[in-house]
Amino acid sequence: MTAIAVTIAGSDSGGGAGVQADLKTFSALGVYGASVLTALTAQNTRGVTAIHDVPPDFIRAQIDAVFSDLDVNAVKIGMLSKAAVIEAVAAGLDAWPGRPVVLDPVMVATSGDRLLDASASGALESTLIPRATVITPNLAEAAALLGTEQARTEDEMRAQGEALLARGARAVLMKGGHGLGDESTDLLVEPGRVIRFPARRIDTKNTHGTGCTLSAAVAAGLAKGHDIVTSIGEAKTYLTAALAASTDLRIGHGHGPVHHFHAVWPV
């Protein structure tokens, strides 16, 4: 049986993040990808110049169209810009339950442009986070969700992950890619256990779409029937290789994308 994952996220016209990055990741990892667009962005490697929100009722129509026909095995959720969009996605998940959900709380693009309306943060926390199998915040996103300072050490990452559990999350993957040092370590924080996922930090400016790519890779693993630990480990390995291969890419003039298809067409 073909593993199928669906991404519910915004479109990146530059092709490096959002739905485009998710679909590339699914394909690179042997999973068929479907999509539900929540927003259109005018975006490139330098930044976001405009956002056009998809109406909530049309988002729900896309969800129903995909789930009524495809045997979806996992869901990845990315950019959701407004509270009404978050509520539409939550209603769609309730109508089509039973799939693992990876929620990437996308709040700010790599360029620094804000992608989540400030008034929608509460809706994200109360409506979607409890419905997710795992949430995958980076250090800045975790701090924003908690209204605190960004974690600087693994102990602080663990504490913030536990605080997000207390807010209703079932599992939290605290991503350490925005930290410092030679090692980039992610922490899976669950009730009763914490698991480290270390990797060497890649020195490259091509980091556009890293968060989207990692969360999509986790969803791909879950779609193939792997457990959460195996899915995260394989996703981390894939992203590290995609980052390493990206150093030879020449895409745009800002933060370029990772090389999703490094195993298929090396530069």
> In order of start, what are the domains of the chain with their CATH numbers?
4-246 (3.40.1190.20)
Whether 210 sits among the annotated catalytic residues: the reply is yes
Question: For 166-191, what is the mean pLDDT?
Answer: 88
Whether 7 sits among the annotated catalytic residues: the reply is no
Whether 211 sits among the annotated catalytic residues: the reply is yes
Inform me whether the pLDDT recorded for 111 exceeds 70.
no
Inform me whether the pLDDT recorded for 110 exceeds 60.
no
Could you tell me which of 207, 267, 264, 260 has the C-alpha nearest to residue 23? 260
Question: For 207-223, what is the mean pLDDT?
Answer: 97
82: phi then psi, degrees, rounded to nearest 5: -135, 160
Catalytic residue among 38, 110, 127, 210: 210
User: Which position has the token pair 């400030």?
Assistant: 118
Q: What is the CA radius of gyration of the chain?
A: 17
What pLDDT sits at residue 146?
Answer: 92
Question: How does the average pLDDT of the chain come out, rounded?
Answer: 93
Catalytic residue among 211, 221, 233, 256: 211
Inform me whether the pLDDT recorded for 154 exceeds 60.
yes
Q: Which residues of 122-142 are buried (b: 16+ CB within 10 A; e: fewer)?
A: ebbbebbbebbbbbbbbbebb
Rounded CA separation 246/252 (Å):
12
What pLDDT sits at residue 222?
Answer: 98
User: Which position has the token pair 């790599």?
Assistant: 110
Whether 175 sits among the annotated catalytic residues: the reply is yes
Give the rounded percent of residues in the chain with a pLDDT score beyond 90: 83
Sheet containing 32-44, strands listed edge to edge, beginning at the edge strand earlier in sequence: 47-53, 32-44, 4-12, 74-77, 101-103, 134-135, 172-174, 183-190, 193-200
Is the pTM of the predicted complex or chain greater than 0.75?
Answer: yes
Catalytic residue among 10, 209, 221, 233: 209
What pLDDT sits at residue 181?
Answer: 66
Helix axes 210-223, 228-246, angle to 10 degrees: 140
Question: For 41-64, what is the mean pLDDT?
Answer: 95
